[in-house]
Structure 1
C-alpha cells in the first residue's frame, strides 16, 4: 500500500505497543527514521484527517494514487479478524489489501464486478469458517472443529464447516427435546421462551452457514448481492435473538432455576459465547451492508 511502488527496504518489525505512548501525529513523527530504506512494518491512523501514515517514513499510505482512509482500514481490520479491535491478531497483508479494493468506497471503481464477486466469495468463505471455529472453541457443548493451522493448509474448507453444522443440528435437537420435556412439566413461560430461542438460534446459525456455502456457486454479481441480503437478514436475526438470550441467562430468576435444574447447564455456559456471537455477526452486518 505504498502507492503501488516497489521499494527495497530493510525491515525492522516492531510491536505497536512501542509507539503507544504517543497521543497524536506530532508525537508519532518523532519516530520517523532518517534512513529512507528502513521499514518498521507499522502504521498510524490519524483520526483528525482520517489518514494512515507509515511510522518509519512518515508517508501517507496510498493505493492507486488515492489515500487509504483510516476508517476503511479499521473496518478491514475488524472484519478480517474474529477478535475485538483491542486484541492482537494476525491478518494477512494480501487479504487486507484486497478488502480495501473490494469493499472500501474510495476504491470502488478499481475492480470489475467479477473481480469483486470473486473476492467477496473468498472473504465470506474464509471468515465464516473462522467464525465457526471461534464459536466451536467457546462452546463447551461442542467439539472444536479444527485448528487455525488446518484452515491455512486446507484447499477446501467444507469439511471443517460441515463438522460445525452437524453439531448445530445436534444442538438444535437437544434444545427441542428439552423444550418438549419442559412443556410436559408445565414449566414457566419465560423458561420455555428461553429454550425455544436457544433452539431457534442454533437453527439460524445453521441457516447462515448454508447460505454462505451457496455463495460458492453464484457467479452473477447482482445475484451475489441478493444472496448477501439474505445472509444479512439472517445475521440480523441472530444478533437480535442472541441479545435476548444473553439478557435472560444473566437474570436472577434463571440463575436460581439453573441451580435447581442441571439440564440448563448448556444455557448457563452460553454467556461468554454470546458476546463473541454479537461481535462477529455485528461485523458482518456493518461491513457487508455497504454492498
Structure 2
C-alpha cells in the first residue's frame, strides 16, 4: 500500500509513512532527487517504510536520517502537526515548484491510488504520486496546462477503472478474474482487457433479470423481489460506469472532460447508494432465513465481499472527482 500508519494507536500518532516519493525520479540507470527544483544524484535504497512503524512523531523519525547525504530510501512521511511532508533519509521538507507539498494533497493521492498492490515498486509509486499532486492537488493547480491536465485526468480515470475491474472480478463469485494489476502495468490494450469484465456484467444482468421474473411469477414477497431487482440494476450501473470511463479517451477538450466526469460521478454515487442498500438487506435475518429454503439466493448471499470492495473503491472515486 502507499501508506502505513504507526503501530501506536492512531490517536497517539502524528505521522503517516508513505512508500515512494514524488521527488524521486529514475532516468535509465540514473536515480535523482528533484526536491525543491534541484537535481541531485542519489544512491537509492528502496526500503519498506513499515520498518519505521515504531516511530510515532517527527522528532522520533529524525533518528532515521542517513549519515550519507546522497542516500535515499525512496520513502517519506506526512507530519500531521504542520501538514508537511518530509524525506525520511534526509529530513528535508518536500517542495515542488518552490512550494511545500501539503500533507493533505499527498493523502488524497494515496487514497486515489490505494488499489495498487503492496509490492508496487517505489519508482511506480513515486511517479503516480507526482502526477497526481500536479494534476489534482489544490496547491499546484496552475502547474499544468488544460491539455496536460486533461490528458492526466483521462489517464488516471482510465487506469483506475481498470484497477477496480480487476479487484471486483477477483471478489465477485459470479465472475472469472479478468487479470491482475501487473497486466495493467505491462501496458495491455485497455478496451480488450475490460471487455471481458463488461461481458460478465451483461451475463449478470441477464441472470438477475431471469430470477426477478421467476420471483414475480411465484408471487414472492415484495422485499425479495426488490432486492433482486436492485442487484440487476447494480450490474447495469457498473456497466454504465465503465462505458463512461472508456468514452473519456475520445475527449480532448477540458470543459467537455469535466462534463463527462460529472456523469461518472453521478454513476459512482448511485452505485454506492445501491450497494449499501443491497448489503444491508443480505445481512438481515429475514434474508438469511430465506436462503436456507431457496438455494437460488446463494449467489446473492456471496455478494458481501464484493460489496465491501465496491464501497471502498467507488468511495475513493467520489472523493477524488468532487475535487474537480
TM-score > 0.5 by shorter chain? yes
Name the count of aligned residue pairs. Answer: 288
- Structure 2: state its 5+ residue gaps: 1-22, 24-34
- Structure 1: state its 5+ residue gaps: none
With 92-101 and 48-57 compared, the bigger mean Cα shift is at 92-101
Match of 1:264 among 287, 297, 300: 297
Match of 1:20 in 2: 53
Tell whether 2:278 aligns with 1:245: yes
Which portions of structure 1, spanning 4 or more consecutive aligned residues, are displaced by more than 6 angstroms?
A: none
Greater share of helix residues, 1 or 2? 1
* 1:165-180 equivalence runs, <5 A: 165-180=198-213
Give the CA deviation at 1:13.
2.0
With 257-266 and 114-123 compared, the bigger mean Cα shift is at 257-266
Match of 1:46 in 2: 79
Match of 2:269 in 1: 236
Kindly provide the CA deviation profile for residues 11-37 of structure 1, in whole angstroms up to 9, marking residues without a partner as x: 222221221111110000111123211
Give the CA deviation at 1:110.
0.5
2:139 match: secondary structure: helix
Tell whether 2:159 aligns with 1:129: no
Equivalent-residue separation in structure 2 for 1:209 and 1:7 (angstroms): 42
- TM (norm. structure 2) is 0.86
Match of 1:63 in 2: 96
Match of 1:188 among 218, 221, 232: 221
Give the CA deviation at 1:89.
5.6
With 110-119 and 154-163 compared, the bigger mean Cα shift is at 154-163
Match of 1:277 in 2: 310
Kindly provide the CA deviation profile for residues 179-209 of structure 1, in whole angstroms up to 9, marking residues without a partner as x: 0000111111110111010000000000000
Give the CA deviation at 1:104.
0.2
Give the CA deviation at 1:64.
0.9
- TM (norm. structure 1) is 0.96
Match of 1:221 among 254, 279, 287: 254
Equivalent-residue separation in structure 1 for 2:229 and 2:203 (angstroms): 15
Tell whether 2:122 aligns with 1:81: no
1:3 match: secondary structure: helix
Greater share of strand residues, 1 or 2? 2
Contact 1:81 1:89 in 2 (8 A): no
Match of 1:114 in 2: 147
